[in-house]
């Protein structure tokens, strides 16, 4: 079976909503990456998500809702910080982890009685949430460990078994949401992502950043942080300097165009030169990795991105892709 890709017009949205209400799954665009949507509290629908993605069961899901009010309904405790952050950044690429309402069933639940929630900032995602009237779990619509999809075509390539894909064009951010844990006194960064720490701190104050590469960071929380994820088929190697005659794929950024040329000939088969602006770099990163994979290279040399917090999410993704 091959996924059917449809436009997100009225009939397309109606079909997608019907599919979700019937307990099946459907891929749809968000501003971060394409999500594989399912009724977040239907055991069988969520099981399909884990099965299709081959996602490890210990990896919890983010629940997508259309409004702050809908988010509060899922929480046992809605801290003041959640209100302030939601007010400022929702709809948007910020996921908040809060205590889970005891009224919810345990589908997709984490051991610590928490739930991860966000309101996506994509017209199609919001229209779909509205049309189906369900909270939607929507992890990236790709096989687990692989590169996240930023176009409908990426979804079909990675998950041909998905029955329906709403095509909303390329994703604006192109990198996953920032995940912030609000269950303790101080907000804690669980996953760097599309929304910068700078923007979050301006609203939430100090944020614990469990990453030694960050100046004000504290200890590294767990070995799981360096597991392989976001990885193309080709082997990814992060380098500070390019060899004179690099063969295979090259991923670099503006200011280092020479990486993409070999002075001795026989140079790279395929090169991707991304923006030197971290936001633009992130938006194109997965698409570039997809293109390099499609070109059939078996190795991708990646120029290590700059230090600094604005590059945190990109360093995180590339580090895991290279693991
Ligand atoms: P994905 O759906 O692939 O974008 O990944 C969801 C991310 O959110 C993963 O990094 C999860 O570990 C994280 N996450 C989801 N729910 C929770 C939760 N309740 N507590 C901590 N992290 C969570
Ligand atoms: Mg993912």
CA of 191, nearest ligand number = 1
- The answer to whether position 268 is within a domain reads yes
CATH, residue 257: 3.40.50
The domain total for the chain is: 2
pLDDT at 146: 92
- Structural domain boundaries, residue 313: 235-321
| Residue found by looking up tokens 């100090």 in the block | 206
Which residues on adjacent β-strands are paired with residue 238? 302
- The answer to whether position 292 is within a domain reads yes
- The answer to whether position 118 is within a domain reads yes
Overall average pLDDT of the 185-196 stretch: 94
Of 161, 185, 204, the residue that ends a domain is 204
Of 204, 227, 252, the residue that ends a domain is 204
Whether 190 is in the pocket of ligand 1, judged by its Cβ within 6 Å, is: yes
Q: pLDDT band for 266, please (50, 70, 90 cuts).
A: low
In a shared domain, residues 171 and 247: no
- The answer to whether position 220 is within a domain reads no
Pairing state of beta strands 62-64 and 299-303?
unpaired
In a shared domain, residues 171 and 301: no
Q: What share of the chain is helix, strand, coil (3-state, %, to 5)?
A: 30, 20, 50
Do residues 27 and 151 lie in contact, with contact meaning Cβ atoms separated by under 8 Å? no
- The answer to whether position 24 is within a domain reads yes
In a shared domain, residues 198 and 71: yes
Q: How far is Cα of residue 192 from the mean position of the Cα atoms in its chain?
A: 10
> Is 173 marked as binding a ligand?
no
Query: Ligand 1 test: best mutation among 30, 109, 191, most atoms within 8 Å of CB?
Result: 191
Give me 299's structure tokens: 């190795």
pLDDT at 232: 87
Of 181, 204, 227, the residue that ends a domain is 204
Whole-angstrom distance, CA of residue 305 vs CA of residue 314: 8
In a shared domain, residues 246 and 198: no
CA of 137, nearest ligand number = 1
CATH, residue 189: 3.90.870.10
In a shared domain, residues 180 and 245: no
In a shared domain, residues 42 and 187: yes
Query: 276-321: per-residue pLDDT in tens?
Result: 999 999 999 999 999 999 999 999 999 999 999 999 999 999 999 9
Whole-angstrom distance, CA of residue 153 vs CA of residue 80: 40
Query: 68-99: per-residue pLDDT in tens?
Result: 999 999 999 999 999 999 999 999 999 999 99
- The answer to whether position 209 is within a domain reads no
Query: 103-123: per-residue pLDDT in tens?
Result: 898 887 666 799 999 999 999
In a shared domain, residues 140 and 244: no
Give me 225's structure tokens: 């942080």
The secondary structure of residue 149, as a DSSP letter, is: P
> Is 229 marked as binding a ligand?
no
pTM of the model: 0.92
In 10 A of CB 296, how many CB atoms? 11
In a shared domain, residues 66 and 190: yes
In a shared domain, residues 128 and 170: yes
């Amino acid at each position: 079976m091959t996924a059917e890709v449809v436009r997100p017009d009225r009939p397309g949205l109606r079909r997608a909503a019907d599919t979700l209400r019937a307990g099946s799954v459907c891929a749809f665009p968000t501003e971060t990456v394409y999500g594989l949507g399912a009724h977040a509290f239907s055991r069988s629908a969520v099981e399909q998500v884990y099965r299709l993605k081959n996602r490890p069961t210990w990896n919890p899901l983010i629940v997508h809702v259309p409004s702050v009010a809908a988010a509060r309904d899922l929480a046992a405790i809605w801290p003041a910080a959640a209100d302030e952050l939601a007010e400022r950044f929702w709809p948007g690429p910020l996921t908040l982890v809060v205590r889970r309402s005891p009224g919810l069933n345990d589908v997709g639940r984490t051991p610590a009685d928490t739930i991860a929630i966000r309101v996506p900032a994509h017209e199609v995602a919001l229209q779909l949430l509205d049309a189906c009237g369900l909270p939607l779990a929507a992890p990236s619509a790709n096989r687990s460990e692989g590169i996240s999809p930023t176009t409908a075509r990426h979804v079909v390539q990675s998950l041909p078994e998905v029955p329906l894909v709403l095509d909303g064009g390329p994703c604006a951010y192109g990198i996953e949401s920032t995940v912030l844990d609000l269950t303790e006194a101080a907000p804690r960064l669980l996953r760097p992502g599309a929304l910068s720490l700078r923007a979050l701190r301006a609203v939430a104050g100090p944020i614990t950043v469990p990453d030694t590469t960050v100046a004000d960071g504290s200890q590294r929380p767990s070995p799981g942080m360096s597991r392989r994820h976001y990885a193309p088929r080709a082997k990814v190697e992060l380098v500070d300097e390019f060899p004179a005659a690099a063969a295979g794929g090259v991923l670099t950024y503006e200011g280092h165009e020479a990486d993409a040329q070999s002075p001795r000939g026989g140079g790279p088969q395929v090169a991707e030169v991304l923006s030197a602006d971290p936001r633009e770099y992130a938006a194109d990163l997965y698409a570039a990795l997809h293109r390099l994979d499609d070109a059939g290279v078996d190795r991708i040399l990646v120029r290590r991105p700059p230090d600094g917090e604005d590059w945190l999410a990109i360093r995180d993704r590339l580090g895991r892709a290279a693991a």
